[in-house]
Amino acid sequence: MTDLTIAQMNRYPIKGLSSEVLSSVELRAGEGIPGDRLFGFARYNSGFDPLNPSPLPKDRFVVLLNQAGLAGLKTGFDADTHVLEIEVGQRTHHFAMSDPEGQLDAARFLYTTLGLKDPEPPKFVSSAPHRFTDVSVVSPKMMNAISLLNRASVRALGKKLNADIHPARFRANIEIDGLPPFSELDAIGSTLVFGDVQFQILSRTKRCAATEVNPETAERDLNLPYLLRKHLGHMDMGVYVEVVTGGTLTVGQSGQQPA
């Protein structure tokens, strides 16, 4: 048995925007983090139809992959009131996202602030329970998968690169301590248990250019996909897991990886 600890949990209410740090979460079998990536800003001609939602590649949305400046915006989204806050510099802007005019104002604000080059501003879209996860294009199961990051792997990569790599670069839902570095990558099909909650590791997480962006400076300062391949022979960091048995998960909670 390997002793594990939940170090941090995050949800991303709006794809591409800031995380919401969670202290606890109630998980259900086969479902993702409640409220995670249920909304997004679809780019011009994205092809997304809210009445008939189908998974689309992440570059059809306003995301870090193409817009490093997103990391420089501090955002918050209230799931109950649907008010979006965007902090730029010393000023915080508020948008009522339950109102079409508020959605348009927010889209125009992002369009101008980020200097988007599309012919028109993006559109704020949702179609719950559809999730805008990066691997939604793979299968319905993967749409509801939860991204899990082993902090020991991040630290080990940082040592190889002689760089301070913040876990936030990888925008994971759950960050854990206790696993040996990179061991999760070879544990596909195995389980992780935290109290009543049981996860099954489904697949590795292949990393893209979004990880190049420093979450503290909003600058592309490390070509992590290239560096991962150069030093480790692949572009993977973290894994996707499925909730097999639901329950309450809390930060600081202990768990095990059964042998």
Q: For residue range 95-112, what is the model confidence (pLDDT) as tens digits?
A: 999 999 999 999 999 999
**Strands 191-194 vs 197-206: parallel, antiparallel or unpaired:** antiparallel
Q: How confident is the model at residue 186, as a pLDDT?
A: 97
Name the one residue in this structure whose structure tokens are 């915080």.
Answer: 92
Query: Is residue 255 scored above 70 in pLDDT?
Result: yes
Give the pLDDT mean for 233-242: 98
Query: Is residue 1 scored above 70 in pLDDT?
Result: no
Percentage of residues in the chain with pLDDT exceeding 70? 100
Query: Is residue 89 scored above 90 in pLDDT?
Result: no
Q: How confident is the model at residue 207, as a pLDDT?
A: 97
Least confident range from 25-29, 37-41, 54-58, 249-253: namely 54-58
Q: How confident is the model at residue 258, as a pLDDT?
A: 86
What is the token pair recorded at 64? 């870090």
Percentage of residues in the chain with pLDDT exceeding 90? 97
Please report which helix (H) or strand (E) contains residue 101, including its range: helix 100-114
Of 221 and 1, the one with more pLDDT: 221
Could you tell me the pTM of the whole model?
Answer: 0.95
Taking the CA atoms of 177, 179, 183 and 189 in sequence, report the sign of the dihedral they define.
Answer: negative
Please report which helix (H) or strand (E) contains residue 10, including its range: strand 2-11
What is the token pair recorded at 214? 């420093």
**Strands 174-177 vs 2-11: parallel, antiparallel or unpaired:** antiparallel
